[in-house]
Amino acid sequence: MSDVLQRRGLLIGVGSAILLVAVLWITDQEQSIVIGVVTGSAYGLVALGLVLIYKSSGVFNFAQGEFGSVAVCTLYLLHTSGVPYGVAVVGALVAGALFGFLTERIVIRPLFDAPRVIVLVATAGVALLAIAFQQWLFDNQGRPISRAFPTLDRVTVLRVQISDQRLWLIGTLVVLAVVLGLFFTRTNLGLAIIGASQEPTATELVGISVRRLSTFTWVLAALLGALAAVIAVPDTGSFTPGIMTSGYLIPAFTAAVLGGMTSLPGAFLGGVLIGIVQSVATNAEIFQDIPGTPSTLIVFLVLLAVLVVRPQGLLGRSA
Amino acid sequence: MSVVAPDRAVAPVAPAASQPFRPSLAGWLARGLAWAALACLVLILPLGRPGTDLRLYAIAACYAIVALSLNVLLGYVGQISLGHAAFVGIGAFTSAYLVTVQGQSFWVGVLAATAIGAGQALVLGGVSLRIRGLYFALITLSYGLVAEQNIFQIQEFTGGGAGQSAPKPAWFESEWRYYYLCLAFLALVLFVDWRMMRTKGGRALLALRENPRVASTFGINVRLATLFAFGVSGAFAGMAGALIAHGDESVSADVWNFRLSLFFVTMTVVGGLRSRVGLVIGGSFFALLPYLIEKIPGFEDLLARVPGPVDLTPEYATLIIGPLLLLINLIRFPGGIGQQTRPLQRWMTGHRFDPHDRGLKEVQITDVRA
């Protein structure tokens, strides 16, 4: 029964994505399809991290965005001090993962038995602290950040112009999706994480340390957040302190809820969907009368609609 | 064996319980002096300060109301709002709009702000209760961003970049009268909160926080009780917003952001959940933190000497100190200021001074898994 429901959810998700892309295509806004898919993939990566932590610690991780912001700041600091871009990217990913490790060790582990709402407040505290340090470090100013491929050569695929930077990003994402899929279905470590998230007691009984896995899960989630930031932020050309929390965290949460909050493929699919929905909302003329930023309101309405109509999300098992 | 042991442990305590502790005459005098000093600090000393300081104190009283509002969610039902800046901000603009544009009186504005605050929280809470877990946090977070980027961009409602002006009510124009008015509202909120927790509904809330499933087997309507708490919290937040607006005499759209929401959560948790005294201290302490940093002689120079790319101004210091306190608090002292000052509170109300009395019964940690 739940398989049928899940398949229906998958159909709804993919179907609406195709429909929205078709709308953009017909209205001659092919460019925004690419933007939607690229930002959507970043939302998807952040959402993957959120779902991983939700499954292992049972908590919404409000520091997930800041894992990425720390990575972006490291990338900026390393690159401006003369380190080659590729090395700076690796340094940024390491910094993000390290931040995730420290968060788990210093803040999350002492609260292992605390109510979930207290752990949630703690993650929000970590985010607030990270943002405060960035504000101090950059004097609360935005900074320009250079792209990996500054030349902006364009390739035309089916009327759509894609810069080489974005082509690389999409390629990286495809490889990453395959690697993650294999990791969670074929390796012992991946299976152990899935097991611990579904049945922690039974996992302990077969001799796997759930606590050690918790550390690993947080590092992995932080790495995904850092990757999302390194992919998406330089593409926009600049960053501000706490950028991943202000710009990416809420769409990513909406994506995770849309995907079902416990489903990894669902989270990524949700992310891409939200990215495309934002593209439509930014460009469609019927939304131009909304004051301020129309896409914010649309994302909020999507979140409400999912919770009212289909609380289990597209690929979630049960509410 | 195990049956005998508790009796032995209880035996020496029993006579003390039959003879309640009464302070001596000197004890009563000391307590009276302490109360007088407190009253002097809150009621009389501020009158000697310049108007700009008094305005800050009035805002501090409003922040205490916000802390009490968040405490209803966080302390009583174990849910959390990460969009409280939106609730407070919409309350502020509602009152300012009604008074300035529609020409209504201040009291109508405050009432409307309170009602709208409750209404928003009820609608969002109703949606979030469709699914078990802390979804109210997610919805309010997203709603906070909508308020920031859509609702507060409506020119007519917020007055655009210049902000909406919000005059002080008649007879309360002077800063010190308005300060007393805010204190009166704070007292009202404290009273409502105190009475609420003594009713059937309040006890239902506490039972529900401990364990929703057990609570529902005792016939508590979990959804209704939680919604009730959302409504009360929203109402307090809207009222505080209106008071802040008229205290500042104008409201602008750019202050009600996500960071302010987290700041509200910080002051609530550091103040101490379920401790009214702690919440009031926490709320007003954080509201006055930049001011206090400026007042402590030499502290600003000390901050400026911290190595960094730019000077550590009181503003940045506040941003960093807040979350640091929050994390230390959560990990080391879960009861917050309320728990740490509890011996003093007990002494002030005529009990023995017992430095080990931390009221630990009240911060029992039970895992309500989301």
Q: What domains can you pick out in chain B, each with its CATH number? A: 52-354 (1.10.3470)
Q: Write the CB contacts of B97 (distance below 8 Å, at least 6 apart in sequence).
A: B157, B158, B164
Nearest to B183 by CA among B347, B83, B352, B59: B59
**What's the angle, vertex CA A217, arms to CA A128 and CA A123, rounded to 5?**
15
Give me A207's structure tokens.
């001799």
**Mean pLDDT value of segment A135-158:** 75
Tell me how far CA of residue B63 lies from CA of B114, B176, B259, in angstroms.
15, 17, 15
C-beta of residue A262 within 8 angstroms of C-beta of residue A2: no
Chain A: give the shortest CA distance to residue B118, in Å.
18
Task: Say if residue A306's pLDDT is above 70.
Answer: yes
Higher pLDDT, A162 or B232: B232
The interface predicted TM-score of the complex, written ipTM, equals 0.85
> For residue B8, what pLDDT is reported?
46
* A129·B323 Cβ contact <8 A: yes
Contact call for B319 and A253, based on CB within 8 A: no
pLDDT at B17 (0 to 100): 53
Question: B142 and A250: CB-CB below 8 Å?
Answer: yes
CB spacing of B327 vs A127 below 8 angstroms = no
Task: Establish if A317 belongs to a structural domain.
Answer: no
* Chain A residues with CB-CB distance to B326 below 8 A: 121-122, 125, 128
* CB within 8 Å: A291 and B153: yes
Closest partner residue to A122 among B330, B365, B370, by Cβ?
Answer: B330
Between B78, B128, B265, which is nearest A124 by CB? B265
Report pLDDT for B2.
Answer: 43
Q: What is the 3-state secondary structure (H, E, C) of B281-344?
A: HHHHHHHHHHHHHHHCCCHHHHHHCCCCCCCCCHHHHHHHHHHHHHHHHHHHCCCHHHHHCHHH
Judge whether A248 lies within some domain: yes
- On the CB side of B150, how many CA atoms lie within 13 Å of its CA? 19
Contact A304 B366 (CB under 8 A): no
Whole-angstrom distance, CA of residue A105 vs CA of residue A101: 6
Domain that includes residue A9, residue range:
2-309
pLDDT in tens, chain B (370 residues): 344 444 444 444 445 556 777 888 888 888 899 899 998 888 888 888 887 888 899 999 999 999 999 999 988 888 889 899 999 999 999 999 999 888 889 999 999 999 999 999 999 998 888 877 788 888 999 999 999 888 888 888 888 777 888 888 888 888 888 999 999 999 999 999 999 888 888 888 888 887 778 888 888 888 888 899 999 999 999 999 999 999 888 888 888 988 899 889 989 988 888 889 999 999 999 999 888 888 887 777 787 777 777 777 777 888 888 888 888 888 888 778 888 888 888 888 888 887 777 655 444 444 333 3
Is the overall model pTM greater than 0.95, yes or no?
A: no
CB pairs under 8 A between A and B: 162
Residue A319 lies in a domain: no
For A291, half-sphere exposure in the C-beta direction (CA atoms, 13 angstrom radius) is: 14
- Between CA B212 and CA B192 the distance in angstroms is 24
CB contact (8 A) between residue B330 and residue A120 = no
How far B25 CA sits from the closest chain A CA (Å)? Answer: 44
- 3-state helix, strand, coil split of chain B in percent (to 5) is 75, 0, 25
Which tokens sit at A197?
Answer: 């998230």
Buried b / exposed e over A68-82, threshold 16 CB at 10 Å, is: bbbbbbbbbbbbeee
- Contacts of residue B84 in chain A, CB cutoff 8 Å? none
Phi-psi region for residue A157, left (φ > 0), alpha (ψ -120 to 50) or beta? beta
Cα nearest neighbour of A105 on chain B? B331
Mean pLDDT of A253-270: 87
CB A35 within 8 A of CB A279: yes
Distance CA B291, CA B294 (A): 5
Whether A319 and B131 lie within 8 Å, measured CB to CB:
yes
> Pseudo-torsion of CA B334, B338, B343, B345, nearest 10°?
-170
Nearest to B141 by CA among A249, A51, A276: A249
pLDDT for residue A3 = 62
Quick check: B322 and A132 CB within 8 A?
yes
Q: Check residue A158 and give its pLDDT.
A: 66
Q: What is the reported pLDDT for A98?
A: 96
In a domain, A316, yes or no: no
Instruction: Report the number of secondary-structure helices (H) and strands (E) in chain B.
Output: 18, 2
- For residue A289, give both structure tokens: 């009368």
Q: A250–B310: do the CB atoms touch at under 8 Å? A: no
- Would you say A135 and B311 are in contact if contact means Cβ atoms under 8 Å apart? no
CB B246 within 8 A of CB B167: yes
Distance from CA of B15 to the nearest CA of A (A): 37
pLDDT on residue A159: 65
Q: Count the helices and strands in chain A (H runs, E runs).
A: 13, 4
pLDDT above 90 coverage of chain A, percent: 20
Distance from CA of B67 to the nearest CA of A (A): 14
DSSP state of B169: P
- Rounded to an integer, the average pLDDT of A235-249 is 84
Contacts B368 to A, Cβ<8 Å: 115-117
Place of tokens 């000391």: B30
- The pair of structure tokens assigned to A96 is 């993000």
Mutate to test the interface with A, among B151, B331, B365 (most CBs of A within 10 A): B331
Is there a contact between A126 and A103 (Cβ–Cβ < 8 Å)?
yes
Q: Which two tokens stand for residue B229?
A: 């708490």
Highest mean predicted confidence (pLDDT) among A40-44, A227-231, A263-267, B87-91: B87-91
Q: What is the CATH number of the domain that holds A197?
A: 1.10.3470
Cα B366 off chain centre by: 23
A228 found inside a domain: yes
Distance, CA of A103 to CA of A222 (rounded, Å): 10
Distance of CA B151 to the CA centre of its chain: 25
Q: Which of A54, A111, A121 to mutate to test the interface with B (most CBs of B within 10 A)?
A: A121
Distances (CA, A) of A309 to A306, B109, B127, B226, B308: 5, 36, 10, 21, 50
User: Residue B109 to residues A175, B162, B164, B239: CA-CA distances in angstroms?
Assistant: 57, 20, 14, 9
Rounded Cα–Cα distance for residues B229 and B125 (Å): 9
Q: Residue B267 corresponds to which tokens in the numbers above?
A: 């002051």
A313 against A251, higher pLDDT = A251
In total, how many domains does chain A have? 1
| DSSP-derived 3-state class of residue B99 | helix
Interface test with B, best of A123, A289, A300 (most B CBs within 10 A): A300
Q: Is B119 exposed, middle or buried (0-12, 13-18, 19+ CB in 10 A)?
A: middle
User: Comparing A173 with B192, which gets the higher pLDDT?
Assistant: B192
Q: Do the chains contact at B330 and A121, CB–CB below 8 Å?
A: yes
Separation in Å, CA A84 to CA B67, B100, B276, B299: 48, 58, 55, 41
Residue A242 backbone zone (phi > 0: left; psi -120 to 50: alpha; other: beta) = left
* Domain annotation covers residue A213: yes
